[in-house]
C-alpha cells in the first residue's frame, strides 16, 4: 500500500480510538489489507438488509460485490453513515458517492447462487448500473440469464438470452478451483461449489497480492452420505490459513442451535459451523493454525415471530462452543471492517 494511504489510514484509526473518526470503523486489524463494507447482512423478511458485501483492497478504487441481495439501498445507507468516504471518486460530478461507487469502483459481481435474497438488489439497481461482469458458476449464470434477466421477469441485462439484449452484464462462467482475474483490477477470484438444499451455492476466494478474503454463499453442513464441499474448500484454502494470509472468512449462520435438522433449508447453525471450523483446523495441521482467525457471521434469519434477538442468540451459542479460538464478529449493515 502506498505510504500516503497508510498515513491516512493511521490517522483515521487514531481518530476512531478518540471518538472523532471521520469514517466509522467497526473493526480494524493492526495491519489491514482489505476493506469490507456490509451493504446487507440478513435473510428472511428484512428486504432492505439482505446479503451483500463490498470488498476492496485498501488504497485502491477497485472493489467487487459479493452477492447483491441489497445493493442500491445498502450503498445509500453506507454513504449516509460515511463508510464510503475513503473510496476514491471522480470530482465535480452530479453523482452521489454511492452512485460513484456503484458505477466506477465496483469492477464485478460475485454471485453465489440465484436465490432472490442474493440477487434482488442486482436486478433493481441494474438500470442505473454500468457494464460489468458477473462471475459465477455456470449453473448460477444460467439461472440468471434464463429465469431472471430473460425479458419477462426483467430486461435482458446480460449478454445471453433472447433478443433484444441490453448486454450490460457479461456472464463469466467459472470452473471450480480455477482462478480468474477481475477486469480492470489486480484482483483474482477462485470459486468452489457449496451444497445448499436443492441448488448449488458458491464460495469465492478473493486475492490481492497474495492476501485473501473468503466469502461463502449459503451452505449446509457436509453430510456423511453427500458431497464434502466444505471439507474440499478447507483443503483448498488451508495453505493460506497456515501462512496467515487469509484475512477473514464471511460465512452465514442462519438459525440458532435449536432449529431442527429437518427445517434447516440447507443452512447452518452455530454447532454446524463450529464443527466445520474444527475440520479446518485439522486440515491445517492443528487448531493452533486457526486461533484468532476472523469469521464474519452473516445471513441470520429475520422473521415476524417475536422470538428475542436471534443475532445475539447465535453469537452467544458460537462463543459458548468456541473451543478453537475463532474471532467471531456478527455482521451489521453499514458497518466497515478493515482486515
Residue-wise pLDDT for 227-247, tens only, equals 999 999 999 999 999 999 999
Sheet holding 180-181, edge to edge: 180-181, 188-196, 199-208, 211-216, 246-252, 294-298, 327-330
Q: Is the pLDDT of residue 283 over 60?
A: yes
Residue ranges and CATH numbers for the domains of the chain are 34-338 (3.60.15.10)
Judged on CB neighbours under 10 Å (0-12, 13-18, 19+), 322 is middle
pLDDT of residue 3: 42
Q: Is the pTM of this model over 0.95?
A: no
Residue length of the chain: 339
Residue-wise pLDDT for 151-187, tens only, equals 999 999 999 999 999 999 999 999 999 999 999 999 9
Q: Backbone phi, then psi, for 171, in 5-degree steps?
A: -80, 120
pLDDT of residue 307: 72
Amino acid at each position: 500500500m502506498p505510504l500516503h494511504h497508510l498515513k491516512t489510514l493511521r490517522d483515521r484509526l487514531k481518530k476512531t480510538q478518540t471518538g472523532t473518526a471521520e469514517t466509522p470503523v467497526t473493526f480494524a486489524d493492526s495491519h489491514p489489507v482489505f476493506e469490507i463494507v456490509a451493504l446487507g447482512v440478513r435473510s428472511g423478511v428484512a428486504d432492505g438488509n439482505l446479503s451483500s458485501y463490498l470488498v476492496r483492497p485498501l488504497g485502491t478504487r477497485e472493489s467487487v460485490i459479493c452477492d447483491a441481495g441489497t445493493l442500491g439501498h445498502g450503498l445509500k445507507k453506507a454513504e449516509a453513515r460515511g463508510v464510503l468516504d475513503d473510496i476514491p471518486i471522480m470530482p465535480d460530478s452530479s453523482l452521489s458517492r454511492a452512485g460513484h461507487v456503484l458505477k466506477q469502483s465496483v469492477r464485478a459481481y460475485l454471485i453465489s447462487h440465484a436465490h432472490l435474497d442474493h440477487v434482488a438488489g442486482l436486478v433493481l439497481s441494474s438500470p442505473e448500473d454500468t457494464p460489468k461482469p458477473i462471475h459465477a458458476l455456470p449453473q448460477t449464470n444460467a439461472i440468471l440469464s434464463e429465469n431472471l434477466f430473460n425479458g419477462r421477469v426483467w430486461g435482458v441485462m446480460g449478454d445471453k438470452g433472447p433478443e433484444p439484449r441490453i448486454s450490460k452484464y457479461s456472464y463469466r462462467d467459472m470452473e471450480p478451483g480455477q482462478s480468474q482475474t477481475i477486469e480492470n483490477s489486480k484482483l483474482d477470484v477462485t470459486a468452489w461449489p457449496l451444497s445448499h438444499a436443492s441448488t448449488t451455492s458458491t464460495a469465492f476466494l478473493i486475492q490481492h497480492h497474495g492476501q485473501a478474503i473468503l466469502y461463502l454463499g449459503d451452505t449446509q453442513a457436509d453430510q456423511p452420505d453427500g458431497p464434502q464441499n466444505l471439507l474440499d474448500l478447507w483443503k483448498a484454502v488451508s495453505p493460506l490459513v497456515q501462512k496467515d494470509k487469509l484475512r477473514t472468512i464471511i460465512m452465514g449462520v442462519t438459525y440458532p442451535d435449536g432449529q431442527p435438522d429437518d427445517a434447516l433449508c440447507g443452512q447452518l447453525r452455530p454447532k454446524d459451523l463450529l464443527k466445520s471450523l474444527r475440520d479446518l483446523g485439522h486440515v491445517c495441521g492443528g487448531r493452533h493454525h486457526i486461533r484468532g482467525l476472523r469469521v464474519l457471521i452473516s445471513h441470520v434469519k429475520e422473521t415476524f415471530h417475536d422470538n428475542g434477538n436471534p443475532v445475539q442468540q447465535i453469537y452467544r451459542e458460537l462463543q459458548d462452543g468456541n473451543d478453537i479460538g475463532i474471532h467471531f464478529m456478527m455482521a451489521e449493515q453499514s458497518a466497515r471492517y478493515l482486515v
